Every structure is written in C-alpha cells, then in structure tokens.
C-alpha cells in the first residue's frame, strides 16, 4: 500500500539540528552536546531538550553542513567515535529528512572530555 506522493519536502534548520542532536546522543562515547559560553573558555553540557544549541546547520549551493559540538567520554578512541558519529548522523538525516548524503557534510568539534559518572 505504499503510494508515492510527488512534491518536495522542506525541513527547517532547527528540525535538522534536533534530529542530528538526538542521533549524536545515541552514539557510543558521546556524553552530550556542548554549548560554547560567550566570552568564556569553558563549555556547558546541554540538557536533552536543548540539543540544537550544540548543532550548527548551514546550507549553500554545495549542500548542507552540520557541525556538532560534543562532549566525549574520557578514554574512548576519539577517531572511532567521530567516524561513528558522523556516519550515524548522516544516516539518520537521510532516513528521516530525506537529505541526500552526497550533499551533506558533518563536522565534529570535540569541546570537552568527561567521565560519564562524574
């Protein structure tokens, strides 16, 4: 019973940021999203309902860029976590928002390392 509906899908940058933030939180090694505090050298770990503050979404002729500002768990292999994170966010955005992966780039910014229990 799957009918194809013609038309276009328009998704706001805020919705894309929310989707990317929740996809990031589901990845191993990610403690949370981070917000850079203005005028300070420190970052703040964001609660679940404010994840989009840790995600910057920009678009141009080349496509869509999603920059994630994350806090990782201490002791994890950062390269592996970042590769997994980038892949998971791209897959989730492709599945939910129908974003072409060829026109999507994901940037990972590690803002802090933290013990999950501390």
**Dist CA 89 CA 66 (whole Å):** 9
Locate the DSSP E strands across the chain: 30-36, 43-45, 55-60, 63-73, 104-114
Q: What is the mean pLDDT of the chain?
A: 87
H/E segment holding residue 103: none
Mean pLDDT of 17-35: 92
Q: Which two tokens stand for residue 66?
A: 């999603």
CB 101 within 8 A of CB 94: yes
Q: What is the pTM of this model?
A: 0.83
Confidence (pLDDT) at 37: 64
Domains of the chain: 13-114 (3.30.70.1350)
Which of the given ranges, 6-10, 81-85, 114-118, has the highest pLDDT on average?
81-85
């Amino acid at each position: 019973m799957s009918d194809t509906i013609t038309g276009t899908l328009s998704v706001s940058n805020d919705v894309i940021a929310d989707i990317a933030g929740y996809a990031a939180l589901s990845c191993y090694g990610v403690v949370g999203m981070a917000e850079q505090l203005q005028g300070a050298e420190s970052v703040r770990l964001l609660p679940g309902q404010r994840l989009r503050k840790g995600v910057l979404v920009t678009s141009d002729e080349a496509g869509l860029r999603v920059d994630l500002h994350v806090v990782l768990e201490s002791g994890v292999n950062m390269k592996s976590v970042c590769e997994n994170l980038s892949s998971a966010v791209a897959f989730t955005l492709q599945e939910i928002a129908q974003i072409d992966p060829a026109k999507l780039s994901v940037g990972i910014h590690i803002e802090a390392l933290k013990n999950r229990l501390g």
